[in-house]
Chains A and B, each alone.
Chain A
């Protein structure tokens, strides 16, 4: 049997995680509008299953991509293939333990990492191992690092520290004071998202550099300026999540000021829009490029939303409403998932040495349009739900149940459109899974 490229297994488990994650998300969305819907898995189990599996999709697909791209395209060999295999097994075993703990109702952690905190130990060790292997590999590279290697390295480094930080609550000094506890939790959480964004955006830059064969994308001064701006935001802008928490006032001013530097990124996107659109049209027939172009559109939309939500005068109305969910979903599906699908669609034919057939390409194309068009309605429904809830809460005339009754029609749209998006994801991934299966079982 021929030796298989290990990254394909990362992609396989990533797709399985995404499928499971979206399914649990749909179940949860229907439980919002019909409380007795599928009692077998209650909402308190559904929500962490949805979130953790989607996070697993993000990590497994981006990590699998990084291992593959570094070894194949960066003129270096992976320092230790054995460590890559161990990494894969740790991911799979921890993933199964986390799912098992949720399904048996065993929690104990925090929002987004609800599993018992003891699981954090192997997760931290696996990231130390990943970082060691990655840096030992890229330090062997003789020529200057393109920006995507800086971004991947930064993502690994900061993920490790911010993930450890997110577990500081196990110490009474952090846990006992609620204000400190929430502040540190959201500091870690905000920077952690910034860390995985580094892994994902680095992947997007790598793909555009490769596909267009234009290395200025990843080596220009502007590319590095934008990278450092992203890093500043990763470090300092997390507090817009917690303007309402009564910590020191200056924390909020710093976050507000730094958040507004995202206007520079927004300005750059708008400035380059026409030029990028013309270039992208030429390559739109390439499946991976199509998903990257879609992510560009979603970056623009979500950046406008994110900047608006970072203004305290807007945030006071929107905090704790579905507008925050719109931002999270828009970023996770519209930006992260689009880029990571592009990466999978680039890697799978590259690894297997086969191109998608016409029928498979058509299925992926239809899935692409379904995902993007329906995601717009899904996103807008969450925004309208958030605006309505924010307005009704500040008006202070209705009870929580009465407010949720008013919001419910929008949540029904979210549940239905979410189901259709799942259909789109399946149309994209079924041909990909077929190719992976043929590759894995080929002699």
Chain B
């Protein structure tokens, strides 16, 4: 392969990387169905979630560790909800450490999980499979919300 051909292909691909990145940062991720539930408390809760490394054990949208359950919809799950979460956050469990969180920190984490719950569904359990290997989610919207 000639050097100029290699340079040309490289230039195209590197430019594509930067253009694609900008599109992803803007139109590709403009949707946020939970925007109404996004507030200062939920934003603080997200940072606490990071500082306590909750993702080592838990998942959001199936991404994270597998020691504990996926927390995406724990707020709206049958038999669970904010009160249920509060007990875990305040006391820990056999597998989960007690992080000795303050009352405000617990509130912020719950606000973050309420916001997360409104953004979508995980895991997706209601779907149909198409002939080309793609999937249609069932429900009022594409995520089954």
A residues sitting closer than 8 Å to B (CB atoms) are 31-32, 35, 42-44, 47-48, 107-111, 114, 144, 150, 157-158, 161, 165, 168, 172, 174-180, 182-184, 186-187, 221, 224-225, 228, 231-232, 235-236, 241-251, 253, 256, 311-314, 316, 319-322, 325, 393-394, 396, 400
Q: Which residues of B contact A172 (CB under 8 A)?
A: 43
Additional pairs, 13, CB under 8 Å, beyond known A107-B51, A180-B25: A43-B57, A107-B50, A111-B55, A178-B116, A235-B17, A243-B135, A246-B33, A247-B29, A320-B62, A320-B122, A320-B123, A393-B125, A400-B69
Q: Which residues of B contact A322 (CB under 8 A)?
A: 66
Most buried by B among A175, A221, A319, A396: A319
A181–B7 alpha-carbon span in the complex (Å): 33
Nearest chain A CB to B24's CB is how many angstroms away?
6
Please state if A43 and B142 are interface contacts (CB–CB under 8 Å). no
Please state if A47 and B56 are interface contacts (CB–CB under 8 Å). yes
Nearest chain B CB to A264's CB is how many angstroms away?
16
Number of A-B residue pairs with CB-CB distance less than 8 Å in the complex they form: 166
A44–B120 alpha-carbon span in the complex (Å): 26
Interface size counted on chain B using CB atoms at 8 A: 64
Given contacts A32-B67, A322-B66, contact A183 B28 (CB under 8 A): yes
The residue of chain A having its C-beta at the shortest distance from the C-beta of B55 within the complex is: A111
The residue of chain B having its C-beta at the shortest distance from the C-beta of A183 within the complex is: B29
What sequence of 0s and 1s flags, for each residue 47-88 of chain B, a beta carbon within 8 Å of any chain A beta carbon? Answer: 100111101110111111111111000000000000000000
Nearest chain A CB to B28's CB is how many angstroms away?
5
Please state if B31 and A248 are interface contacts (CB–CB under 8 Å). yes
Q: Which residues of A contact B50 (CB under 8 A)?
A: 107-110
Given contacts A43-B56, A251-B28, contact A320 B63 (CB under 8 A): yes
Q: Which residues of A contact B95 (CB under 8 A)?
A: 35, 43
Q: Which residues of B contact A174 (CB under 8 A)?
A: 25
The residue of chain A having its C-beta at the shortest distance from the C-beta of B79 within the complex is: A399
